[in-house]
Amino acid sequence: YPIYAQQNYANPRALNGKIACANCHLAGKEIDVRMPHDVLADTIFKAQIDVPCKYEKRRQLIADGSKAALNIGAIAIMPEGWKLAPKDRLPKVLKKQMKGLSWSPYSKEYPNIVVAGPVPGSIYERMVLPILAPDPNTQKDANFGKLTMYFGGNRGRGQVYPEGNQSNNNQFFAKKDGKISAIDGLKVTIEGTDGSTVTQEVLAGGQIVVEVGEQVVKDDPLTTNPNVGGFGQAEKEMMLQDMNRVWAYCALATSIFVAQLTFVLKKKQFEKVQLAEGF
């Protein structure tokens, strides 16, 4: 859950680019992010985060060992000064597209990082995030120019809890070489070649794939892998455009055009003079 990241990581993006969610959501699955290439200062625009999965059909193992639908969540890491669009400035169209999805700032320290979820994947497969671009003329922490935003999107349950223990959404493996000597419910006992035994418990819902009497090697799977979800990251570049730069470029382009045109006209005039003088 995003709250696990908020409680355990002051800054959710590590220096190597890994977003905190990936520490517990070990399986990878693609996400797709769309947003404009350029925006003007102090405007509201939309980032669209798609977290695709077959939500209608696919069901996952939940903590008590039964099956349920998948939920999704997301995180967006924006540069300093950028933030979630305030409710009173949200355009109606955008509000409708959000389908009631609520985003919240990651922490007091990082209002430029926002999280959402868990919410049902069947409704929010396409998560819409309204962003307010800063105004560098009035905000010291923002600059015009090119910048990068980082996104993370997740569907399904994680493999590790904040305390470090595994969730039941994991595949379990043999702890040593030997023979399966007993299977009692979720407890699998392996008898090693030296006669010592180890009893491993697979967690609720685990589907055991070994039989009593079977030989196993260390790290052979004891259960199937129940995980159907995964976490994905994406990076997008965008430009915070300064209108003065656009005007300056237009002025430059126009002046070059006029200069070129006058050169051509001058050449034509000179050619006429040459013709008249009979060169």
CA nearest neighbour of 205 among 176, 243, 260, 166: 166
167 forms part of the interface with ligand HEM (CB under 6 A) = yes
Among residues 61, 75, 132, 240, the one that binds ligand HEM under rule CB under 6 A: 75
77 forms part of the interface with ligand HEM (CB under 6 A) = no
| Phi, psi angles (nearest 5°) of residue 44 | -105, 135
Q: Count the neighbouring beta carbons within 10 Å of the beta carbon of residue 36.
A: 14
Identify the three-state secondary structure at position 2.
helix
Closest distance to ligand HEM from the beta carbon of 79 (Å): 18
83-84 vs 126-132, strand pairing mode? antiparallel
Closest distance to ligand HEM from the beta carbon of 235 (Å): 16
Which residue number, 60 or 112, has a Cβ lying nearer to ligand HEM?
60
CA nearest neighbour of 34 among 133, 144, 131: 131
| Phi, psi angles (nearest 5°) of residue 155 | -125, 140
Closest distance to ligand HEM from the beta carbon of 52 (Å): 14
Q: From CA 160, how far away is CA 166, in angstroms rounded? A: 5
230 forms part of the interface with ligand HEM (CB under 6 A) = no
Closest distance to ligand HEM from the beta carbon of 3 (Å): 8
Lookup: tokens for 71: 């939920």
Please identify, among the stretches 2-10, 89-97, 170-178, 266-274, the one whose residues bind ligand HEM according to the rule CB under 6 A. Answer: 2-10
What is the size of the binding site for ligand HEM (CB under 6 A)? 31
Q: From CA 52, how far away is CA 207, in angstroms rounded? A: 26
Flag whether 124 is marked binding.
no
Segment 3 to 42, residues that bind ligand HEM, using CB under 6 A: 4-5, 8, 20-21, 23-25
Flag whether 37 is marked binding.
no
Closest distance to ligand HEM from the beta carbon of 119 (Å): 7
Closest distance to ligand HEM from the beta carbon of 186 (Å): 17
Among residues 79, 105, 136, 162, the one that binds ligand HEM under rule CB under 6 A: 162
How far out from the chain centre does Cα 142 lie? 23
Q: Count the neighbouring beta carbons within 10 Å of the beta carbon of residue 6.
A: 19
Flag whether 21 is marked binding.
yes
Which residue number, 118 or 136, has a Cβ lying nearer to ligand HEM?
118
Cα separations (Å) of 132 from 154, 204, 220, 257?
Answer: 24, 45, 51, 37
Positions touching ligand HEM (CB under 6 A) are: 1-2, 4-5, 8, 20-21, 23-25, 60, 62-63, 70-75, 115, 117-118, 152, 154, 156-158, 160-162, 167
